[in-house]
Chain A
Amino acid sequence: MASRKEGSGAAGGGFGSAKGKGKAAAAGDSAVKQVQIDGLVVLKIIKHYQEEGQGNEVVQGVLLGLVVDDRLEITNCFPFPQHTEDDADFDEVQYQMEMMRSLRHVNIDHLHVGWYQSTYYGSFVTRALLDSQFSYQHAIEESVVLIYDPIKTAQGSLSLKAYRLTPKLMEVCKEKDFSPEALKKANIAYENMFEEVPIVIKNSYLINVMLWELEKKSAVADRHELLSLASSNHLGKSLQLLMDRVDEMSQDIVKYNTYLRNVSKQQQQKHQQRRQQENIQRQSRGEPPLPEEDINKLFKPPQPPPRMESLLIAGQINTYCQNIKEFNAQNLGKLFMAQALQDYNN
C-alpha cells in the first residue's frame, strides 16, 4: 500500500528538491526543507512495529542517511531493542555505535540523522519527545523525528510524519527557562513549537518497476480497509484521550490561576504598604527611602509554574483535534457513499 502511494510522492519530491536548492542558504531558519525517505526505511519501521509494538507501547529506532542541500535523505534505519527489566545495564549509546559501525562495514550510510517513533492514536506530543528531539537537534542540526501511526496505517492510509523543533523552541529549550514571561518573550505558542517537514518517499526505479508488475497480479478486492465503516471505536478512543488532555489542561490552568492569585495577594500585603508609607514619611523628612528589594527577599514571590507542560498539552490537543477532524471527514464521506449505495441498491 505504502509503496503504491509513494510513486506519486516521489514525483512531488523531485520538484521540491529542485526548488529547495536555490533557497537553502537564504532560509536559515531551518536546515531541512524536505525529507526524502527510502521505501526500505518505511517498510522497516512498519515491520518493527508489527513485530514488537502492541497496544499503546511505543517502538523507537535510529534513522540513518545524509543531507543533500536542504533535503534530508533517510536511506536506512535500525530499531532500538525493546527494554526489558532484566537488562537494566544495557548501554544504548554503545549499541548505537556498534550498529553504525557494522553498517558502515557493509557500506551503508551510517550518518545519524534522527530517530523514529510509533504512536498510539497520535499521542506523541510529550515532554519526552521534546527532550530527546531537542538533544538530537542540538547535537545533529538536521535531525528529524519520524512519527509512525500504526492505527491509521491499519485503516488504509500510511501515516508517517516528520517533525522538527522550530528554531524558537530550540532557543527556549537551550535557555531552560519555561516561565510564562520567557515563553511570552520568545513568542512561542503551541502552533509553532513543531514544524512538520514534507516527506517524500522515493524508491529506486527497479523497485518501481517491480511494484508495477506486482500490482497487475494482485486483486483489488482484497484492499477494502479503506472503506470500513466501523468507526466508533477509533473515535471513542480518540475522544477519551482528548478528554484526558482537556482535563489536564484544566488542572494546569487552575494551577496557574492559583499562582496568579498568590502573586496578587502578596503584592497587596500590608508590610509592603507599610514600607511604602514609611518611605513617604522619610521622603517628607528628607531621608533616603528604604529599599524595597529586601522585602521581596524576605517574602519570596511564589514560584511561577513552568508553562511548557501546558504548551505541550495544547499541542497534543491540537493533534487530537486534527486527527479527529480528519477521521470524521473521511468517515462522513464514507457514510454518504454507503447511503448512496444503499439507495441505489434499493
Chain B
Amino acid sequence: MSKMGVKPREFGLKPRELGVKKPQFGVKPREFGVGTCVCFSAQCPAGCLCRCPCPCRCPCRCRCPCPCPCRCRCRCPPVAVAAMSRFFTTGSDSESESSASGDETAPKAAGGPYSKPLLLSEDEEDTKRVVRSARDKRYEELTNLIRSIRNAMKIRDVSRCLEEFELLGRAWAKAKGVVDREGVPRFYLRILADLEDYLNELWEDKEGKKKMNKNNAKALSSLRQKLRKYNRDYEGQIAAYRQNPEQSDEDEEKSRRDSEGSGSSSGAEDDAGNFLKRRERDEPRSRYKESESEPESESDEDWGDSASESDSESDEDDGKFTSLASKFLKKDEERRGAERRREEKAKKKLERKSRREEEEEEEEGGEWEKVKGGVPLIKEKPKMFAKGTEITVGLVMKKLNEILQARGKKGTDRAAQIELLQHLVAVAHEHQLGVPLELKIKFNIVASLYDYNPNLAAYMKAELWQRCLGCIEELLELLFAHPEIFVGENVLEESENLSNPEQPFRVRGCVLTLVERMDEEFTKIMQNTDPHSQEYVEHLKDEARVCGIIGRLQRYLQAKGSPEELCRVYLLRVLHTYYKFDYAAARRRQVRPRPQVSPGPQVSPGPQVSPGPQVSPDPQEKEKEDEEKEKQEEEEEEEDSEALMERLCRFVYAKDRTDRIRTCAILCHIYHHALHSRWYRARDLMLMSHLQDNIQHADPPVQILYNRTMVQLGICAFRQGLIKDAHNALLDIQSSGRAKELLGQGLLLRSLQERNAEQEKVEKRRQVPFHMHVNLELLECVYLVAAMLLEIPYMAAHEFDARRRMISKQFHHQLRVGERQPLLGPPESMREHVVAASKAMKTGDWRRCHRFVVNEKMNGKVWDLFPEADQVRAMLVRKIQEESLRTYLFTYSSVYDSISMETLAAMFELDLPTVHGIISKMIINEELMASLDQPTATVMMHRTEPTATQNLALQLAEKLGNLVENNERVLDQRQGAYGGYFRDQKDGGYRKGDGYLRRGGFRQERGNY
C-alpha cells in the first residue's frame, strides 16, 4: 500500500515522453467515470473529501486515494470543500490508475506511466469546469473502444476484438450526427484499416489459425466477414488513408488534441500540439506495428497483467474487497518486480518523462480539463446539485423524483441509484433541510435496496442486507426522535408536507412494510445459507437485531399506529417468538417450585390406557391453577415469552380483521403453548379455533405452519404421557411419508416430471429456515414409540382376529423391515432400536424394551433434545412397564389359571394399585376374560377365549361371508335390474352385520341400469 503511495512520485521525476502517450489521454476519462467516488456517505474516517464509506467495504468502486486506513486507497488531500467533490477525482485518477486493475475497466486503468505525470495536478486547485461537446463525448467513446480493440489485437484475442468491434459499430452509429457534420475522423479509419490488415495477417497465418482455440477461430471468421462488409461503406476513405497514413495520423492527432483540449487556453494548446507533432514524427506509429519499441513493451506487460486480472475481477462482486485487497497486494509485488526490471530500461524514458512533466506544468490548465472532461458520471452530479445553487427542499425533491423515475427502468444501474440517494441524504442533512425530507429519502433508499435484486427468488447479499438493517435502524431512530412527523402510506404525494413547519409534517411511506419486507429478506437469506456453515451462525446473530427492530417498531406503532398495523407488527413479533423455547422462564419455574402437582405424578396412573376422554376432570383444575399462576406471572414479569405471546395474540384475536393474521397468530400461540408443555391449553385452543376443518383452504405457508403446530402438539402430548393423543396428532404427518415436505423443511427428491423448475422454486421459497426446524428424527421416534406403546398390546389382544386393523401402518412397515433382515445385529439407528424394543415388548419383557428405548445412543439421538429430558424418560419407563404388563396378560393369560397381582407388580416393578387399576380396566373393557379375587389379590382367568381351532373356524366363517358377498355382486351384475331379491335380503336376515359392506359405487351402478 504504502509502496503504491510512493510510486507515483518517483515517476513524477521521470522525463516526459509525450509523443507516444498523447493520443491515449482521450481514453482515460472513461475509467475515471467508474472510479469516481459517488458514495458521499459522509463517513470516511479520514475526513477526506471522498467520503467513501470505508473502512471496510466501499460500495462505490472509487478506490479514491485518500489516506484512510482502509484499502480503498484514498489519498486525496484532506482540505476540501463539498462543492469541489466532483473534482477531487482528478486527484485520484492517477492513483486509481496506478493502483490499477481493481477497477472493472482495469485494462484502461493500466494505461501505465502515461498518466502518471498527471499526479502533479494533485496539488493544483483548479476549479474550472468543462462543458464538453457532443462531439467530444462521442469521440471519446470511440477512442476508448478503439483502444481496447488494439489491446485485444495485441494479445491475439480475436473474440474480444469481435465484441469490441460490435460495440464500436454501435457507438459509431450513435456518433453519426457528429460524423455527418465533421466527416469521418481519421482515427476511425485507421482502426478499420489496421484491423483489416491484422485480420488478413491472421487469416493467412494457417499455422497460427490451427493453434487458435475454437472461440477465437470462430470469432476470427465472423469478424473478418463483418469487417469486410463494414469497410465497403468506407472503401474510398480507407484507401485514401492507406495512401497517406502519416498524414492522416497527424491530422487525427491534431483533431483529437483539439477535441480534448477544447475550451482550454489556446496558447498552451498550440504549444502542446506542436510538441506532439514533433514527437510523433520521431516515433511514427511504431506502437501499432512494432511492439519492440521500448515504451510499448512496457505497456504491453501492463496490458497483459491487467487484462488477465480484469477478467477474474470483473467476475467478482464489487463488494468483495478483502479478496481484492489481497489481489492488490500481490499485484503490488508484481509491480515492484516489474518496476525494478523496468528501471534500468526506462532510464532514458525517465529523462523524457521529467521533461514532459515540466511541459505539462506549463500547460497544466489544459491537462486538467482533459481529464475532467472524460468523467461521464460526473455529469450526473452537477445535475444533482449545481454548484452555487441554493439547495432547497423543492430542489432536492425534484432531484429525488428524477432519481426515482429511473427506478425500474431497464438501463438503470441500481447500485448507482442507491449511491445517489445516499448522497442526496447527505446533502439534505448537510443543508439542514429538515428531518421529513431525510425521512422521505431514507424510505426511498431502503426501497431501492430492496429493489436491488430484480428477481424475487434471489436473496439479498449479506452486505446489502446489513446496510438495509442499518438504514431501517436509522429510520426508526429518526421516527422516534421526531414523533410529530406523520408517516403513513395513505398520505398522497401531493399532500405531503416536508418543509412547512406550521402545519404538521406529513410523509408518505410505511415503515411497517419496510420492516416486513426486511423480515422476508431475512428469511430468504437464511433459506439460502448452508445451515451447517459458520456463515449461517453469523446470519443468525442478526436475528437479534431484526427482533430489536421489530420491537422498536412495535413500540412506535403502539403509540401511533392503527389496530391493523399493530396486528401486523404483533404478528411479526409473534413469528419471531413462537418457536423459541423460553429457557429463562423454564428455569424460573424450576427455581420456584410449583404449588400444584409436580410433573412426575402428573402422569396419572389410571387413564393412561386410553388417555383421551378420561383426562377431563383433574386437568381442568390444573388448567385453572395454571391460568391463575400465569396471570400472576404476567404481572410479575413482562419479558416472559408466554405472557408476551398471550398479550400479543389476544390483541390480534380481538382486533384483527384479516383472517390470515389471526390464523397465524393462533397457530403460533398453540405452537408456543405446546413447546412449553402446556398441553391442555394448546389443545383447547386448537379445538376452539376449528382450524382443522378449514385449514385446507389456507395458503401453503399457513398450512406449513399448521403442520408444524400439529407436530409440536403431538410431541407435547407425548411428553405429557398422552400417548394416544400424540399418536393421533402425528399420524397424518407421519403416515404420508413426506413429513419433511409437509413441514417445509426440505424438498423430497422427485423427478422433474412431477414438479417442474418453476414449482420447485416456489416450493423452495416456502421452506422454513433451518433454525426453526422441528427435528425430524425426534418426530419420527416419538411417533414410532407412541405407535409401539399402542400397537403392541393391541396386536397381542387381537392375535386371532381376522378383522384386525392396523393402528399405525408405518410402524408395521418398520416391523416388517426388521423381520426381513437376514441377520439381526444389535440395533444401530433409531428405527432399529424401536423395532427391537417392540420385539421385546411383544414377549412382555419390559426391561429389555426399556433398554432399547432409553439408552446412550437414543439419548444422544432423541431424548436429550427435549427440554425436560429426564421427565420424559421417566414417563417412558412407566409407560413401557404398563404396556408390557398389558401385553403380557394378553399373550399369556391362556397359560394361567390364576395369577397373583403381587407377582405381576414385582415382575413389572409397578406398585400394586397401578397393577390393580390396569387389570380392572382390562376386565371392564372385556379385553381380559378374568375376575379379580380381592382377598388373595389374584386374577382368576375365565378361559372364555376361543381355542385355536375355534378361532380358525371363526376366521373361516368370516372369509366365507366375504366370499359369498363377492359372489353375490357378480350375480348382481349379471342380473342387473332385478336386484330386488338382494335388497330384501339385505334388510333382514343373515347378513345384517355385513350389510354395511354393500354401499357406495356398487349400488349407484345398479341405478344406472
Contact = CB atoms under 8 A, between A and B. Distances in A.
A264 interface: yes
Interface stretch (B279-287, B415-423, B627-635, B966-974): B966-974
A4 to B, nearest CB: 32
A174 B966 CA distance: 31
Given A246-B959, A250-B959, A264-B973, A257 B966 contact: yes
Contacts of B955: 243
Contacts of A254: 966
A250 B963 contact: yes
B970 A253 contact: yes
A235 B966 contact: no
A332 interface: no
Given A235-B949, A239-B956, A260 B966 contact: no
A232 B962 contact: no
Nearest to B967: A253
Interface string A223-260: 00000000010011001101100110110011011001
Scoring A232, A236, A257 by chain B CB atoms within 10 A of each residue's CB, the highest score goes to A257
Given A232-B948, A232-B949, A236-B949, A243 B956 contact: yes
A322 to B, nearest CB: 16
B953 interface: yes
Contacts of A232: 947-949
Contacts, number: 46
Interface in A249-278: 249-250, 253-254, 256-257, 260-261, 264, 268
B290 interface: no
Given A261-B973, A264-B973, A247 B959 contact: yes
Nearest to B974: A260
Contacts of B1008: 268
Contacts of B949: 232, 235-236, 239
Interface in A88-133: none
A254 B966 CA distance: 6
A264 B956 CA distance: 32
B960 interface: yes
A83 B970 CA distance: 42
Contacts of A246: 956, 959-960, 963
Interface string B970-1001: 10011010000000000000000000000000
Contacts of B956: 239, 242-243, 246
A320 B723 CA distance: 46
A261 to B, nearest CB: 7
B913 to A, nearest CB: 40
A260 B970 contact: yes
Contact of A253 (B948, B953, B966, B974): B966
Interface in B925-962: 947-949, 952-953, 955-956, 959-960, 962
A256 to B, nearest CB: 6
A315 to B, nearest CB: 15
Nearest to B969: A257
Nearest to B973: A260
B963 A249 contact: yes
Contacts of B966: 250, 253-254, 257
B953 A239 contact: yes
Nearest to A255: B966
Contacts of B947: 232
B1005 interface: yes
A250 B962 contact: yes
A253 B969 CA distance: 9
Nearest to B1005: A261
A240 to B, nearest CB: 7
Interface residues of B, number: 20
A335 to B, nearest CB: 13
A254 B955 CA distance: 19
Contacts of A247: 959
Contacts of B976: 264
B412 to A, nearest CB: 59
A256 B966 CA distance: 10
Contacts of B970: 253, 256-257, 260
A136 to B, nearest CB: 33
Contacts of A235: 949
Contacts of B974: 260
B1004 to A, nearest CB: 12
A212 to B, nearest CB: 42
A249 B967 CA distance: 10
Contacts of A239: 949, 952-953, 956
A256 B967 CA distance: 10
Contacts of A236: 948-949, 952
Interface in B892-948: 947-948
A242 B963 CA distance: 13
Contacts of A257: 966, 969-970, 973
Contact of B959 (A243, A256, A268): A243
A246 B952 CA distance: 13
B48 to A, nearest CB: 85
A235 B953 CA distance: 10
B973 A253 contact: no
Interface string A286-309: 000000000000000000000000
A111 B855 CA distance: 73
A242 B957 CA distance: 11
A249 to B, nearest CB: 6
B963 A253 contact: yes
A299 B962 CA distance: 33
Contacts of A243: 952, 955-956, 959
Nearest to B963: A250
A346 to B, nearest CB: 24
Nearest to A263: B973
A308 to B, nearest CB: 17
Scoring A235, A243, A249 by chain B CB atoms within 10 A of each residue's CB, the highest score goes to A243
Contacts of B960: 246
Interface string A5-28: 000000000000000000000000
B336 to A, nearest CB: 80
A242 B955 CA distance: 11
B747 to A, nearest CB: 37
Interface in B588-647: none
A170 to B, nearest CB: 28
A161 B967 CA distance: 32
Nearest to A237: B952
Contacts of B969: 253, 257
Contacts of B967: 253
Nearest to A235: B949
Nearest to B959: A246
B964 to A, nearest CB: 9
Scoring B953, B959, B976 by chain A CB atoms within 10 A of each residue's CB, the highest score goes to B959
Interface in B389-433: none
A249 B952 CA distance: 18
Scoring B947, B948, B974, B976 by chain A CB atoms within 10 A of each residue's CB, the highest score goes to B948
Contacts of B959: 243, 246-247, 250
Interface string B288-306: 0000000000000000000
Nearest to A242: B956
A254 B1005 CA distance: 16
Contacts of B962: 250
A76 B772 CA distance: 82
Interface of A: 232, 235-236, 239-240, 242-243, 246-247, 249-250, 253-254, 256-257, 260-261, 264, 268
Given A253-B970, A268-B1008, 12 more contacts: A232-B947, A232-B948, A232-B949, A235-B949, A236-B948, A239-B949, A240-B952, A246-B956, A249-B963, A257-B970, A260-B973, A264-B973
In the A-B complex, the 4 residue pairs with the smallest Cβ-Cβ separation, listed nearest first, are A253-B966, A239-B952, A260-B973, A246-B959
Interface of B: 947-949, 952-953, 955-956, 959-960, 962-963, 966-967, 969-970, 973-974, 976, 1005, 1008
8 contacts: A232-B948, A236-B949, A243-B955, A246-B960, A253-B963, A256-B970, A260-B970, A260-B973
